[in-house]
A and B are shown apart, each in its own frame.
Chain A
Amino acid sequence: MMDGSDSSALLRADALTKQVSSPEGTLTILDRVSLSVARGETLAITGPSGSGKSTLLALLAGLDAPTSGRVFLDGVELSALDEDGRAEARARGVGFVFQSFHLLPGLTALENVMLPLELADRADADPAARAVLADVGLAARVGHYPNQLSGGEQQRVAIARAFAAGPSLLFADEPTGNLDGGTGARVADLLFDLNARAGTTLVIVTHDASLAARCARRIALAAGQVAA
């Protein structure tokens, strides 16, 4: 386990704690979790349901604010920024792949992939998005809407969207969770292949042991704490 003072880390979490109030009292979902991810590293966060791995991912990505503790992304303290500031940080260098794909249903495959490019004010959004879609084997499907694509194709669009803006860090939340075995394996191949080519830092949340095994490093969460 790296300590929180490692300055070469792309992503660093110091004693992240997340508590929520419930009718039964305060519930601690994450309890003083610290970790550090080096540039280019691949990390799997594993654990059973309710262990807090999705919450950890949300905090690391700045989608949620911790109750206490700090998150640094590329030297910038995410946890000190307001929502818009965190959004901007994501626009600059973070990509996402979700279990449920989370494509915008109103936009075509191409438009979905263009989104992060446009949000990063890239003038070449259209050709760049087409190129990434070609990379994931969907050159012929650019004009299709999400509901016209299969689950595997949707996830490939989501992967293309994640890599389109050339992020330095990619978060994947159960990227194969909604796919059957074969499709899941092909999507995982694609994810690691693109990752290897782009040298992206990859943080995967999964309870799929085979997917976790493909990462260079694994940490397991149990009851909100790092177990291994």
Chain B
Amino acid sequence: MKPLSHSLKSFSRGWRGGELAMLLASVALSVGAMAAVALFTERVQLGMEQQAGEALAADLVVESRDPLPQAYDERAKTAGLRTARLTYFPSVATTASASQLVEVRAVTAGYPLRGTLRVADRPYARGTPLRALPGPGELWAEPRLFAALGIEPGARVRLGAREFTATKVLDYLPDQGWNFVDVAPTALIRSEDLASTGLLGPASRVTNRLLVAGEVAGVKAKLAPLLTRGQRLLDARDGRPELRTAIARAERFLGLAALVAVLLAAVAVAMAARRWAKREADAAAILKCLGARQRAVLASYALVVLWVALVGGLAGAAIGVGAQAGLVALLGNLLPADLPAPSLAALPGVIALGGVVLAGFALPPVIALGRTPPLRVLRHDLGPVPLPAQLATLAAAAAVIALLAVQTRDLRLAAFTLGGLGIVVVAFALTALLLLKLLGRLRGRVGVAWRYGVANVVRRGRESVAQLTAFGIGIAVLLLLTLTRSGLLEDWRATLPADAPNRFLINIQTDERVAVTAFFTARGLPAPTLAPLVRARLVAIDGVAIEQVKLDNPNLRNFAEREANISFGAALPAGNKLVEGRFWDATGAGPREPEVSFEVGIGRALGLKIDSRVTYDVAGEQVTARVSSLRWVDWDSFRPNFFILFSPGSLDDAPATWITSLHLPAERAPLLLELTRAFPSVTIIDTDVILDQVREVIARASLTVEFVFLFTLGAGVLVLLAAIQSSRDERRFESAVLRTLGARRRTVLAGVAAEFLLLGLLAGLLAVLAASGLEWLLAREVFDMPWRPDPRLAIAGGLLGTLLVGVTGVLATRDVVTHPPVETLRRR
């Protein structure tokens, strides 16, 4: 016997006869789901990063105080990237009667590379997106400048030696805003007009930026070594902590969704493989009876699995490519227009993962098939000899672990998912067994159709438990995704209440504090809480100069070495939680020795421990403080948040400005004009536009998860179909016997419906419990979100699952009833 040629014959026979169809479909769909998820999520993730890149108006920024060499632009352009230049510096804008500190931003064509400007025709009006820049001699400015100068659009404004026409009001700049210090209203002009202002003297505080957009990953690596001291690379992800959090969460969601689709598909693969092996058992027995050696039979069937892996894998890859394109088309303008093309490089890996699924889930029954005793030709009750259960379990577990590791690329998430699934499987199996026992008692009290349905569920005890587990996990995951997703949105709604701060006031001078507070209280608004802001630079940790401290991450080094905004205060700020150490006594004048509290993430990254000593350079003076606590900071709070907080008294003499955030109802917005006139140096930042941007990113992430969840749903249906497929022969027989005994089709169908509704109901109920439990675990341990149970949604999900299983089950088994009973009975 030649295994290769026999395997090809078996494959083509199985293909034509339809026995391998379900297995091929399972592999194709699992690979398809993985490919689609991999390609689509890769594209969406890149797209989201581009969206997050709005924070920089680019994907990558090279920044320097000194002019940047033209060579960088050329290098980026040769790599097919888009570039633009931005030069910004503080200056004074004047009219005949007023003057105002401004941040002049001179930009070249193409700015912003990410995001869109929004401009309006009058101050504080809602702007409309515009893909254009000011014309020569024109200046666009933030409403605060119009207010401060007391002008309307069309007025003449002087910058240095050049007079401009202030034609439009800037409502939104993608890269405005989060540089809290020295934010004066922006005045946007063309780069070509810059020289004529004569403002770029040698001592001017100019910042030069090269903006880059496109496939920046490779370029970043090439640019990094070229940078000289004083030049730094800014990645889109350096931008805003709250956006970073959102993207990290979205990535985890997508990874989880992909993973579950794959695991469900694996269950379908196992079921389909078992059915195929069962059907091939006669052929295997006959082969052996005719003298084929076990090894040859085994090799032959293992090769069939390989053909399935290749054919199914290729079909799946094609499905994946098509599906991700369909998804992108479906999402339409919700995705960035220039979403990067899918990289087909991921496909061989995904096809290989399909092979891993087959090896773990299809190979054990196929090996059993190879071990079919030749005696089967005489004794039909002798089937394939299954592998020891532990070995089969081990194979499946190894495949699952491999999939988990590859799909999540996050060991913690993988471990929690595996742990959660393990608990679910055991809990499902036990609960299912219990329910089956209870059902067995109930069956005497129901009609013939229901008894038949109940009997089917109870009799196929092991299969029922397996199906309950598979369906249950499927439904649980669907619930988990909707529950957890809604949890994410709820979390956002919770952290962003209707009266969430929507304005930041910064640059409040120390002597303006009382007056600013009074400004609001006099107008019937709550007194804002002011927090001090001191510019300081980290000099040493435990006496070791910061340059000498080992920091493995370049972003971290940037953070450590750049001028930081630190604060001081008596009380732990709202939204902060103490993680380690003790916070200083809020009642007294503060500790005698200066103390400092670090945000836990940055504190640990810097290697700080309680009682570490950090030295800061504050306006030329060195202050050493003892690290007395590490805090968790709720970055989503839209309140002033600080990485570094000093104890009161330690920075009293340092030059400080003050910052606050407040909620200003829309109808009170004109008050801002008064505020700007009363306090020209105070800068107001409108967080509404930034919140809108964050909300959009979240909405987009949710939508993406929902689409990925469709693959999970598809995989769940596949499991159901595989389960039905594998019991089709039995069902046909039972239907034939019932109809021979005089049962109408409707009666048989009612029995089938009873069975699937019951299965769905049980699986749905178990799933609701399991999903809630797993969600609690994930929310607590992985997503760092508070967990809120939502029974309404869980019930809805359970019902949906029941209907899904019931309807799909009945539809898929309809042909069982239409199959002529005489044919079935004759075949037995």
Contact = CB atoms under 8 A, between A and B. Distances in A.
Nearest to A59: B822
Interface string A105-137: 111000100111011100000000000000000
Contacts of A54: 826
Interface residues of B, number: 29
A107 B825 CA distance: 18
B825 A84 contact: no
B244 interface: no
Contact of A63 (B447, B733, B740): B740
B743 interface: yes
B740 A91 contact: no
A196 interface: no
A188 B685 CA distance: 97
B788 interface: no
A103 B736 CA distance: 11
A64 interface: yes
Given A61-B740, A119-B743, A111 B455 contact: yes
Interface in B736-787: 737-747
B740 A106 contact: no
Interface string B392-407: 0000000000000000
A54 B451 CA distance: 31
A104 B737 contact: yes
Given A102-B737, A104-B734, A63 B742 contact: no
Given A106-B455, A111-B455, A87 B742 contact: yes
Contacts of B821: 63
Interface string B444-474: 0001100110011011100000000000000
B447 A118 contact: yes
Interface in A52-93: 54, 58, 61, 63-64, 83-84, 87-92
A8 to B, nearest CB: 25
B825 A102 contact: yes
A100 interface: yes
Contacts of B826: 54, 58
B741 A119 contact: yes
A115 B738 contact: yes
B745 A107 contact: no
B828 interface: yes
A96 B744 contact: no
Contact of A118 (B448, B739, B746, B822): B448
B742 A90 contact: yes
B820 interface: yes
Nearest to A125: B448
B460 A87 contact: no
A102 B828 contact: yes
A100 to B, nearest CB: 5
A157 B747 CA distance: 23
A161 B740 CA distance: 12
Contacts of A104: 452, 455, 734, 737-738
A98 interface: yes
A96 to B, nearest CB: 6
A89 B742 CA distance: 7
Contacts of B734: 104, 106
Contacts of A119: 448, 738, 741-743, 747
Given A83-B745, A87-B744, A98-B825, A106 B458 contact: yes
A145 B747 CA distance: 22
B818 to A, nearest CB: 9
B455 A107 contact: yes
B799 to A, nearest CB: 27
A94 interface: yes
Contacts of A107: 451-452, 455, 459
Nearest to B458: A106
Nearest to A167: B742
A201 to B, nearest CB: 17
Nearest to B454: A106
Contacts of A87: 739, 742-745
Contact of A91 (B451, B737, B741, B746): B741
A201 B458 CA distance: 37
Contact of A90 (B456, B740, B822): B740
A115 B741 contact: yes
Contacts of B459: 105-107, 145
A56 B53 CA distance: 79
Contacts of A102: 733, 737, 740, 825, 828
Contacts of A90: 740-742
B739 A106 contact: no
Contact of B822 (A64, A91, A105): A64
A203 to B, nearest CB: 14
Contact of A92 (B730, B738, B742): B742
Contacts of A94: 742
A215 B616 CA distance: 112
Contacts of A114: 448
Contacts of A118: 447-448, 451
A120 B828 contact: no
B348 to A, nearest CB: 43
B740 A84 contact: no
Contacts of B730: 105
A207 to B, nearest CB: 16
B745 A116 contact: no
B444 to A, nearest CB: 8
Nearest to B820: A64
B402 to A, nearest CB: 38
Contacts of A63: 740, 820-822, 825
Given A105-B459, A106-B460, A88 B744 contact: yes
A145 B460 CA distance: 13
A74 to B, nearest CB: 14
B825 A120 contact: no
A64 B733 CA distance: 15
A106 B820 contact: no
A94 to B, nearest CB: 7
A111 B451 contact: yes
Given A106-B455, A106-B456, A84 B741 contact: no
Contacts of B740: 61, 63, 90, 96, 102
A171 to B, nearest CB: 9
Contacts of A58: 822, 826
A114 B452 CA distance: 11
A61 B820 CA distance: 13
Given A58-B822, A64-B820, A98-B825, A116 B455 contact: no
B456 A116 contact: no
A96 B739 CA distance: 11
Nearest to A103: B737
A116 B742 contact: yes
A188 to B, nearest CB: 21
A91 B743 contact: yes
A54 B740 CA distance: 14
Given A63-B825, A111-B451, A118-B448, A84 B820 contact: no
Identify which of A64, A87, A102, A118 gathers the most chain B CB atoms within 10 Å of its CB.
Answer: A87
A136 to B, nearest CB: 17
B254 to A, nearest CB: 42
A97 to B, nearest CB: 11
Identify which of B451, B739, B742 gathers the most chain A CB atoms within 10 Å of its CB.
Answer: B742
Nearest to A98: B825
A73 to B, nearest CB: 12
A61 to B, nearest CB: 7
A100 B456 contact: no
A207 B460 CA distance: 36
Top 7 A-B pairs ranked by shortest CB distance?
A91-B742, A106-B459, A118-B448, A90-B742, A106-B455, A63-B822, A64-B822
Given A106-B734, A118-B451, 14 more contacts: A58-B826, A88-B744, A89-B742, A91-B741, A92-B742, A96-B740, A102-B737, A105-B459, A106-B459, A107-B451, A107-B452, A115-B741, A118-B447, A119-B738
12 contacts: A63-B740, A87-B743, A88-B744, A91-B741, A91-B742, A96-B741, A105-B730, A106-B460, A107-B455, A115-B448, A116-B741, A118-B447
